[in-house]
Structure 1
Amino acid sequence: MRWGFAICLLLLGNLAWADTIVATRSIRPQQIITAEDVRVDPSDVQGAHAYLGEVIGQEARVAIYPGRAVMLGQVGRPALVERNQMVELVFAKGGLRIVAEGRALARGGVGERIRVMNIDSRTVLFGTISENGTVLVSR
């Protein structure tokens, strides 16, 4: 009898219970998610966020409906640069630093790569958004 109980505990111990973050109300795209917008649900949904800290303060990339799990690609850093916004483009390599005026061709947050257009040459480049809103470009 003891062996059966021990085996049952061993098997149950290997089961992993996970939490899932679920929307409590409709969340619009580009809305910053607050603690009132989400809750922890004791279920396991593959590809969904499991911790409140991963979601609160982030920006919704798509509409998220009440009762639905918040999936990994649905939230991201809040946008610092808006589409068509004028931005400072910075190219730095070694001791060389070139600064130009550009236009963002997409919106994005700190650390994200976006397409930008150099206003003078009309060349489209890729760049990474820095903390102060400048775009660090590379060729």
Structure 2
Amino acid sequence: MLKLALCLIALPALVAANPVTAARTLPTGTILSQGDLAFGEQADPAALDALIGMETRVMIYEGKPVTPSQLATPTLVERNQMVTLSYVSNSLQIDTEGRALSSGRLGDVVRVMNMGSRATVSGEVAANGSVVIRNR
């Protein structure tokens, strides 16, 4: 019972520890900018910088706290998007055009149809939005 009472006493402090809230209603898929977030005097600038550039996974309503569980890294490749498909093996690199068959974030493995051969391959999404197939 004592533990429960201590948790209830500490609860308002835990809620106040996250002063970053949504400045407007943020639909799913919104890439956060500084104007999308409102923060109090206790806000840590480093924590705010970590949120900027992230993508919302769920709708966040105006005035509600923004938590890391509601965010993800931005989607770099959308389904049906034309992408550069790169095959890399040691010092050899071959680039061609492909169509993404699924969406993906940095590091995700997505399927891509090679537009030249119509073959379907799987590769990893790179930071520049291309899909890389590495020789294993």
Pair 1:134 & 2:133 matched: no
- Secondary structure at the counterpart of residue 28 of structure 1: coil
Q: Distance in 2 between matches of 1:56 and 1:27?
A: 13
| Pairing 1:75-90 to 2, within 5 Å after superposition | 75-90=71-86
Q: Distance in 2 between matches of 1:68 and 1:34?
A: 16
Pair 1:101 & 2:97 matched: yes
**CA offsets 1:49-90 (integer angstroms, 9 cap, x no match):** x82111223332321112322222433344443221111111
Q: Which has the larger radius of gyration?
A: 1
| 4+ runs deviating over 6 angstroms | none
- TM-score, scaled to structure 1: 0.64
Question: What fraction of aligned residue pairs are identical, expressed as a percent?
Answer: 34
Report the alpha carbon displacement of residue 23 of structure 1 after superposing the two structures with TM.
1.3
Contact 1:91 1:136 survives alignment (8 Å): yes
Q: Distance in 1 between matches of 2:126 and 2:36?
A: 28
- Secondary structure at the counterpart of residue 33 of structure 1: coil
Q: Which runs of 5+ in 1 are unaligned?
A: 1-14, 44-49
Task: Report which of the two has the higher share of helix.
Answer: 2
Report the alpha carbon displacement of residue 92 of structure 1 after superposing the two structures with TM.
0.8
2:107 counterpart (99, 112, 135): 112
- TM-score, scaled to structure 2: 0.65
Q: Which amino acid aligns with 1:34?
A: S
